[in-house]
Structure 1
């Protein structure tokens, strides 16, 4: 274990998965913030039920409080527990997840408005990375966002953690599985809406979910 700008640093190549998962769980359960490997980028996150820890994640990232965090869960079955009366989400869980995909669904009544930043939707991830899912299996859901800086190079899981935001614990696990960003699909309505095409192509989403809408953005012509 080493120490850096972001607190303690654990190297997954040195410690066992069980030891690392236990330490992540300890930090999360005691109100700390963690940086973990995900499938497309490292994430910074915390206990989704801890308001103070959520505030620290926002502060560490300089993130506007009207941009909600994403809830990372270990299994498709865990995601389905939140997707009440949503056939599209159930199909996604069965045929797409785990995947480098953010799925938006209507926010269940039992989820706090704070976690959803006052919105009626909530974003979910079931990472396509066995290490990340094993950690989530031990510590439970984590509310988080990318730990990458808004501009400049991505963190590649190496020894130089200087570009990362401050956190109580960093887990290094080398480069992420995917170099491209995650896709984002909104399944809160009667059909899917593609908000961002990334590692999961639109054709794959349409193959599983049916017709996918792309929101149109009006652009003023230059005169």
Structure 2
């Protein structure tokens, strides 16, 4: 049976962080979905995440960082004049940015791509876990790939989908305050572009990234 760490169990989180460093795969609440997390530098742990989710090996994982500036340790600043202002306003929060990765990010996390999606949430237990582990964390939503086209992955769904394969599940203290998965903004092209629309809308992103390309269904 999967061990469940209840809200407020600090020693349980410290234990989970230690196990993460030793290759464990852990379900944890983000600001939106429950996610499944592992050490990005452990290829076996990353392989397990892909396998348990039945995830296409060509789809990269996302990198979670525990502070608003740590992403620059793992990714290259695209030099967009509005990016710092956007992150100052939105992070911690449900926004992922896609940028060029540094060589220290393993190819098995990015599916061989030269870019990486990074995010920083306000989820207290997720931040604590990453800080205790002393690692960025490779992440994806805690459900079987191809399911959950609508709605968010909650704790019960995460355990139902992945419970027999994960090592630990950390339970949050309440439901998500958001209605959809995080907004994703790519900064790889000539213009920043919204790749996926979440609760952080183009009216917020566009205040800072004034040359933002917005898909028709997000206008």
Question: TM bucket by the smaller chain?
Answer: 0.7 to 0.9
Listed one character per residue, the Cα deviations across residues 75-94 of structure 1 (whole Å, up to 9, x for unaligned) are 11111323434223444433
Which of 134, 137, 148 is residue 143 of structure 2 equivalent to? Answer: 148
Mark the CA change 1:85 to 1:70 in structure 2 (over 3 Å): closer, same or farther: closer
Mark the CA change 1:156 to 1:168 in structure 2 (over 3 Å): closer, same or farther: same
Q: Is the 8 A contact 1:157 1:176 kept in 2?
A: no
Which of 7, 15, 24 is residue 23 of structure 1 equivalent to? Answer: 15
1:193 alignment partner in structure 2: 193
Q: Secondary structure at the match of 1:64?
A: coil
Distance in 1 of aligned mates of 2:23 and 2:206: 40
Which of 79, 82, 89 is residue 74 of structure 2 equivalent to? Answer: 82
Q: Is the 8 A contact 2:202 2:214 kept in 1?
A: no
- In structure 2, runs of 5+ residues without a counterpart are none
TM-score, normalising length: structure 2: 0.85
2:113 alignment partner in structure 1: 119
- In structure 1, runs of 5+ residues without a counterpart are 217-223
Q: Is the 8 A contact 2:65 2:120 kept in 1?
A: yes
Higher Rg of the two aligned structures: 1
Deviation of 1:190 after TM superposition, in Å, equals 4.0
**Pairwise CA RMSD of aligned residues?**
2.3
1:157 alignment partner in structure 2: 155
After alignment, is 205-214 or 153-162 more displaced? Answer: 153-162
Structure with greater helix percent: 2
TM-score, normalising length: structure 1: 0.84
Deviation of 1:132 after TM superposition, in Å, equals 1.9
Mark the CA change 1:202 to 1:215 in structure 2 (over 3 Å): closer, same or farther: closer
Q: Say how many residue pairs are matched.
A: 209
Mark the CA change 1:210 to 1:82 in structure 2 (over 3 Å): closer, same or farther: farther
Equivalent positions of 1:78-117 (< 5 A) are 78-88=70-80, 89-117=83-111
Distance in 2 of aligned mates of 1:159 and 1:108: 34
Deviation of 1:160 after TM superposition, in Å, equals 8.7
Mark the CA change 1:188 to 1:172 in structure 2 (over 3 Å): closer, same or farther: same
Q: Is the 8 A contact 1:77 1:93 kept in 2?
A: no
Deviation of 1:176 after TM superposition, in Å, equals 2.4
